[in-house]
Amino acid sequence: MKLKSNLPILRKKPLSLSLAPAQQQHVFQDHERDVIYIDVAKRNDSDLRLWLEWLDGEVGRVHMVQYEALADLQRRRDDARAHARIVQPQNRGGASAETAMEKALELLRLGAALGASDIHIHVLRDHAEISVRIKKSIRHLRDLTVQDAHDLMIALYRIGPSQDNQVKEFEIQDGGIPGTELEGSGLENVRIVRGPSYPAMNRGGFMSLRLQYRGKTTTRPVTPVGVSLRMPRAPDGKCQLKAMGFDDTQVDRLIYMISKPSGAVIMTGPTGSGKSTTMLELTNEKARISPDKRNICIEQPVEYPIPGSVQLEVINAVNAEEAGAQFKDNMRAALRMDPDSINIAEIRDAEVALTCFDAAQTGHAVMTTLHVDDIFDFPLRLQNMAFERLAFRVTCNSTIILGLVAQRLVPLLCDHCKQPWPTEDARMPRLARSALCEWGDTTNVYRANPEGCEHCNHMGTEGVTAVAEVVMTDEELMNDFVSKGVTAARRRFRSRPDADRTMAERAIALAFEGRIDPKSILTDVGEIPSKAQLDLDRKRGALERAADQRNAEKLMEEGV
């Protein structure tokens, strides 16, 4: 009989089931012994049993499970990290160590013959891929089995004499190969970074090799006979942003921002506002547009498998401090992995923010999220992390932060059972009802039927839609933050003729179209603003900008 769980501990993905961070500390998966150790106190935990059942189904066999005290499990985890178990290729049923070493040297020489600047090995759940970067573009070289990829990466890491040859499977490691080991290849040295990546608990991993050549060569690289390079496969499907609730102008602005080669785009909003889903769709669309670019994701935990991206994940962290340390290690490693773009799950502290902005300034496109209620409060939120290092004068730079997206999710009414909205709706405060009535005739405004119907599973709603505000930053906006403060910057920006509508305005429009319950504007967006006050703020902002423009023109005429 299949187990069922009602606890909010497991995260279910389209093709996978993973443990939430709170449960990961109670599990240690020993790949060398092929044993899963579980905290004895969790022996009857239905979520862990469900995860084990899924894991057995993934590999087609039953895993050996051993229960022990949490302290013993933690010692086992620490011992595995400290002693960094060394995987011997011949013990896994793969190629011999000698054969793996020959293949490693052959790969490096092939990369040099192709004129590649980088070679990448990416181990996924059921196969691995080798790709190369040639003249700034990524090309797929070949696929191989997971075991062969691990043997190859171990051999590559052990070529260099400078580093400890112990391969620490769950740690990020750096290494190097001197040119003396690669005579005749034209290589001066090879820099290595390797480590775990999603699905790390199922032997997922990566290795990036930076090829450094001896001087400049005038010889045109020639693809050897039998070697075929191809463009990496783009994600399936078409852009879903419009179906998610974004309008045409918003989609155009979002695609324009993520198409730039450097700079950060920040998604803002509380937990459950759809930030991660939007970032996933933007990542997929970016890969559809430019499949020859390399993307690195840093997550805790991985929420969705992202085709074509290397996903660095926080694993086996027993507390927030350890998770934070792993997150920062992954951030630093990502910059050494030959990225074109980097997705950072969340700016959680000053160090992450500074690394994020450093990446944005050094030629990388960055997408990330920030927990802040008002989109224009982002510099205050960052400054609170580190008053001097993240002051307005540092963060308010339109070459660093290209754009901001504020987003919420609101439920859509069931068209079969929705009810006319009463202007004396007792569910809403009087001030909110009065403010809504300022926006127009409420004849076509509806509320959810509390009883629902068979069409909506008696929920009264069917699905959700995004309401968002998209802000493309520029020098004027950022200067306003620094010189005039958040309130004035917000007012002046929203007074522009081409400024996006606020989330509240979009939600109000949906209510007047009969698509959402006005109450959800209060519960999911935050407020129903007075139309008169909003219009007054915009008029004031426009007058301020016009006055500044006149003063600037006067100074130009005077030759100042």
- Residue pLDDT, tens place only, 254-288: 999 999 999 999 999 998 899 989 999 999 999 99
* Residue 168 pLDDT: 81
- Whole-prediction pTM value? 0.80
In degrees and rounded to multiples of 5, residue 296 shows phi and psi of -115, 135
Instruction: Give yes or no for residue 497 having a pLDDT over 90.
Output: yes
* Residue 240 pLDDT: 94
Nearest by Cα to 250 from 222, 282, 276: 282
In the predicted model, what is the mean pLDDT of residues 6-29?
Answer: 57
- What is the pLDDT confidence band of residue 239, given thresholds at 50, 70 and 90? very high
The beta strands (E) that lie in 145-200 are given as 173-178, 187-196
- % of the chain with per-residue pLDDT over 90: 61
- What is the pLDDT confidence band of residue 337, given thresholds at 50, 70 and 90? very high
Work out the angle between the directed axes of helices 350-361 and 320-334 (0-180°, nearest 10). 10
In the predicted model, what is the mean pLDDT of residues 431-446?
Answer: 96
Q: Which residue has the higher pLDDT, 1 or 488?
A: 488
Instruction: Give yes or no for residue 10 having a pLDDT over 50.
Output: no
Q: Which residues pair with 313 in a beta bridge?
A: 299
CA atoms within 13 Å, Cβ hemisphere of 78 = 8
Domain ranges of the chain: 23-82, 100-213, 240-293+340-551
Work out the angle between the directed axes of helices 486-494 and 531-557 (0-180°, nearest 10). 90
With 0-12 CB in 10 A as exposed, 13-18 as middle and 19+ as buried, what is 477?
Answer: buried
Instruction: Give yes or no for residue 547 having a pLDDT over 60.
Output: yes
Q: Which residues pair with 281 in a beta bridge?
A: none
* Residue 33 pLDDT: 67
* Residue 95 pLDDT: 56
Instruction: Give yes or no for residue 319 having a pLDDT over 90.
Output: no
In the predicted model, what is the mean pLDDT of residues 386-404?
Answer: 94
Residue 133: both structure tokens together:
């970067």
- Residue 350 CA: distances (Å) to CA of 118, 192, 373, 381: 31, 28, 19, 10
Nearest by Cα to 473 from 374, 541, 357, 376: 376
CATH number of 100-213: 3.30.450.90
In degrees and rounded to multiples of 5, residue 116 shows phi and psi of -75, 145
- In CATH terms, the fold of domain 240-293+340-551 is Rossmann fold (3.40.50)
* Residue 26 pLDDT: 82
Nearest by Cα to 477 from 358, 374, 387, 379: 379
- Residue 111 CA: distances (Å) to CA of 116, 213, 295, 501: 5, 11, 21, 51
Instruction: Give yes or no for residue 8 having a pLDDT over 50.
Output: no
**25 near 309, Cβ under 8 Å?**
no
Instruction: Give yes or no for residue 221 having a pLDDT over 90.
Output: no
Q: What is the pLDDT of residues 78-111, one digit of tens each?
A: 666 555 444 444 444 455 667 888 899 999 999 9
Q: Which residue has the higher pLDDT, 206 or 553?
A: 206
* Residue 89 pLDDT: 45
Q: Which residue has the higher pLDDT, 182 or 246?
A: 246
How many Å apart are CA 54 and CA 541, to the nearest integer? 57
Q: What is the pLDDT of residues 48-78, one digit of tens each?
A: 888 888 777 765 666 788 888 887 777 777 6
Q: Which residue has the higher pLDDT, 331 or 509?
A: 509
Instruction: Give yes or no for residue 472 having a pLDDT over 80.
Output: yes
Q: What is the pLDDT of residues 134-160, one digit of tens each?
A: 999 999 999 999 999 999 999 999 887
In the predicted model, what is the mean pLDDT of residues 505-534?
Answer: 96
In the predicted model, what is the mean pLDDT of residues 182-208?
Answer: 90
